[in-house]
């Protein structure tokens, strides 16, 4: 137990050689969870002891206003495996995950919520799929123990997100997930993009899978998420769609919009121009004004697309892909363009 083969993935990174113990990082964002944390910690300790993992805990307090921080320091006194990151105010789950990702030291990372609705006993099942070749395994709350006012909007959100992103998952926002280390090293989560982590990882070329997990009713407190998160979620989906599908060629998107607007705007102008050539007097008409507005907006779209292309080419050359890891096969040394970041098989 506790030995997983993480030596193969599509980026060629060696996370843990077969026969060596897995170093596991458990990342738990917390917000006003003083009652649930001791029980969650005990459940996690049971799973860690039963499977013999080498592990660490990273609890990220997201600006709690109850005694969550004091409880976490109490857990720290019980175990030196506990690491604590505390925000001065509430920044949101994405910020907590992003900071936590930068702090992990394990070969694999488990994320889960602190409210006891995620079952720590599912961790070995998630890691088994990682050892079989997945880069990210997302939980699917098959029998979700939440009221209808949460489950129904969530089903709609997941269906739309799956269709729009092309990633076939039933539950994008399940807090219980397992990652290879290089996945969390690659992702940059901000705003409220934690809902779209599987889509962002899939766009980066990682293998994303899903398994059914047990889900429990909330035992303490109440949900920290209001109805507005669903509306925000669809705005974030638009962000993800643009970032993932148009990040490298923004002019293609803005150019197509410009062509459509310019075509719709020029047609009435040509009609009135022909009428003028034939000797008919011109006068300002609403359709003429609408056409002119469309042409002006089309020119602005082209300008925005060109500016976006300049920004994209600059950032891609300096940071975005220069810092990616690649596997170079069949060569004696990495190409000069990749430098020391490349790895040889």
Tokens for 156, please give them.
């709609």
How much is the pLDDT for 324? 44
How much is the pLDDT for 315? 55
How much is the pLDDT for 25? 96
How much is the pLDDT for 343? 32
Residue 113: CB atoms within 10 A of its CB come to: 20
Q: How far apart are CA 218 and CA 155, in angstroms?
A: 19
Range list of H helices, the chain: 37-51, 68-78, 93-103, 123-131, 148-165, 181-186, 197-203, 228-246, 250-277, 286-315
**What's the whole-model pTM score?**
0.70
Q: What is the DSSP code string of 273-293?
A: HHHHHTTPPP---HHHHHHHH
Q: What is the DSSP code string of 206-251?
A: --EEEEEE-B----SS--S--THHHHHHHHHHHHHHHHHHHSS-HH
How much is the pLDDT for 11? 34
Residues 6 or more apart in contact with residue 118 via CB below 8 angstroms: 112, 139, 174, 175, 176, 213, 215, 216
How much is the pLDDT for 308? 73
| Residues in the chain where the model's pLDDT stays below 50 | 1-2, 7-19, 319-345
In the chain, the percentage of residues whose pLDDT exceeds 70 is 76
Report how far apart the first and last C-alpha atoms of the chain are (Å, whole number). 27
Q: Quick one: DSSP state of residue 118?
A: B
Residues 6 or more apart in contact with residue 157 via CB below 8 angstroms: 172, 173, 195, 230, 233, 234
């Amino acid at each position: 137990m506790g030995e997983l083969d993480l030596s193969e993935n599509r980026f060629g990174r060696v996370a843990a050689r077969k026969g060596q113990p897995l170093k596991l990082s458990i990342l738990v964002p917390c917000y006003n969870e003083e009652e649930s944390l001791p029980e969650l910690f005990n459940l996690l300790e049971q799973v860690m002891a039963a499977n013999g993992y080498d592990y660490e805990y990273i609890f990220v307090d997201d600006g709690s206003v109850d005694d969550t921080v004091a409880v976490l320091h109490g857990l720290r006194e019980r175990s030196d495996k506990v690491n604590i990151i505390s925000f001065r105010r509430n920044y949101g789950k994405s910020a907590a995950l992003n900071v936590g990702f930068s702090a992990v030291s394990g070969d694999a990372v488990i994320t889960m919520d602190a409210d006891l609705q995620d079952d720590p006993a599912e961790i070995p099942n998630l890691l088994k799929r990682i050892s079989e070749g997945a880069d990210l395994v997302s939980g699917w709350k098959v029998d979700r123990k939440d009221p209808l006012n949460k489950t129904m909007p969530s089903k709609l959100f997941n269906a739309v997100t799956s269709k729009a992103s092309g990633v076939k998952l039933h539950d994008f926002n399940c807090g219980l997930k397992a990652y290879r280390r290089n996945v969390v090293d690659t992702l940059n989560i901000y705003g409220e993009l934690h809902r779209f982590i599987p889509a962002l990882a899939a766009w980066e070329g990682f293998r994303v899978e899903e398994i059914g997990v047990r889900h429990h009713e909330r035992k303490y407190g109440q949900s920290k998420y209001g109805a507005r998160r669903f509306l925000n979620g669809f705005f974030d989906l638009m962000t993800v769609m643009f970032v993932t599908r148009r990040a490298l060629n923004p002019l293609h998107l803005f150019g197509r919009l410009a062509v459509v607007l310019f075509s719709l705007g020029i047609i009435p102008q040509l009609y009135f121009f022909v009428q003028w050539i034939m000797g008919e007097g011109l006068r300002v008409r609403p359709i003429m004004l609408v056409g002119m507005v469309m042409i002006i907006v089309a020119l602005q779209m082209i300008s925005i697309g060109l500016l976006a292309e300049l920004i994209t080419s600059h950032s891609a050359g300096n940071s975005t892909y220069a810092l990616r890891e690649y596997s170079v096969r069949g060569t004696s040394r990495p190409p000069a363009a990749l430098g020391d970041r490349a790895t040889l098989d």
